[in-house]
């Protein structure tokens, strides 16, 4: 009979995380700084005299750093609608079910929601892949800076902790966050095949990213975080200095970052 009890706890954890409001600042302007390590993989195609060399890939690591300006506010202000949630039963064992009471006046919780404009730079990769022959590899030096508009949602863990362990004051400021962003990447690629010369190109590509991690509120105005980010800066293309040769590479980075956020100005737009 332990299985139903564990399943019931899991359901309670989920419902508590979705329904209990969490401390969240009202609308605040903030600035943040981020520093981390970027590990990139370049999937490269080398073409010479209209003949394709088999695709090859290589990876490299680079520092990344930058900052953002944004606004944080409760999720309940982003989605202010009141909903009716019906009561329902969830079967957890033959002949047994967990009952959950609905609500006539359900509102989304006050989880911290952030919208920001972010700039990141410092990425500099050297991608070495197959060239016209084993003795002449293709070397592509790629540098990238990103300009993104990001969305982030912080979900507090205090509700499930309270269910399983009771009140743990030191862990109440902890949140798990997830987010996504879209924008532009300013890239420069310089490629050569080690025999003739080199060529370069620079321009913007569409870029997108996803991120997840853990946050901690040191005070009402100072937050720290650590996490992972997937960053796709698009496909880059240039010549190599050789006649009728071309290099195109798609670069994807996995980045591990740490950040510091300072809420410096309170906005009264949500005051009632």
Q: What is the pTM of this model?
A: 0.76
pLDDT score for 243: 60
Tokens of 47: 């073409």
pLDDT score for 43: 81
Give every residue of the chain whose pLDDT is below 70, as ranges.
Answer: 1-25, 48-53, 104, 106, 131-135, 159-168, 193-200, 239-245, 270-272
pLDDT score for 225: 97
Per-residue pLDDT tens over the stretch 121-160: 999 998 887 766 666 777 778 899 999 999 999 999 876 6
Distance in angstroms (rounded) separating the CA atoms of residues 148 and 84 = 36
φ, ψ of residue 170 in degrees (nearest 5) = -65, -25
Alpha carbons within 13 angstroms on the beta-carbon side of residue 124 total: 3
- Domain enclosing residue 213, as ranges: 2-270
CATH of residue 69's domain is: 2.40.160.20
From the list 65, 215, 108, 92, the residue with the least C-alpha distance to 152 is 215
Distance in angstroms (rounded) separating the CA atoms of residues 29 and 4 = 46
* Structural domains of the chain, count: 1
């Amino acid at each position: 009979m332990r299985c139903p009890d564990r399943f019931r706890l899991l359901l309670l954890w989920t419902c508590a995380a979705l329904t209990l409001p969490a401390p969240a600042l009202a609308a605040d302007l903030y600035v943040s700084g981020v520093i981390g390590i970027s590990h990139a993989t370049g999937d490269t195609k080398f073409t010479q005299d209209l003949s394709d060399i088999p695709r090859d890939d290589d990876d490299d690591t680079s520092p990344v750093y930058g900052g953002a300006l944004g606004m944080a506010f409760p999720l309940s202000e982003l989605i202010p609608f009141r909903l009716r949630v019906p009561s329902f039963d969830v079967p957890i064992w033959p002949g047994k079910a967990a009952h959950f009471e609905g609500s006539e006046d359900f509102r989304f919780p006050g989880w911290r929601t952030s919208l920001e404009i972010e700039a990141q730079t410092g990425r500099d990769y050297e991608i070495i892949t197959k060239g016209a022959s084993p003795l002449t590899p293709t070397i592509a030096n790629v540098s990238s800076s990103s300009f993104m508009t990001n969305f982030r949602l912080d979900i507090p863990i205090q509700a499930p902790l309270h269910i399983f362990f009771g009140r743990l004051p030191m862990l109440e400021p902890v949140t798990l966050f997830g987010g996504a962003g879209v924008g532009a990447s300013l890239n420069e690629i310089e490629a050569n095949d080690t025999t003739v010369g080199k060529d370069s190109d620079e321009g913007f590509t569409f870029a997108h990213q996803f991120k997840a991690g853990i946050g901690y509120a040191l005070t009402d105005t100072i937050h720290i975080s650590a996490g992972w980010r997937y960053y796709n800066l698009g496909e880059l293309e240039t010549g190599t200095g050789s006649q009728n040769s071309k290099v195109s590479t798609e670069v994807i980075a996995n980045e591990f970052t740490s950040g510091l956020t300072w809420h410096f100005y309170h906005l009264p737009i949500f005051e009632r």
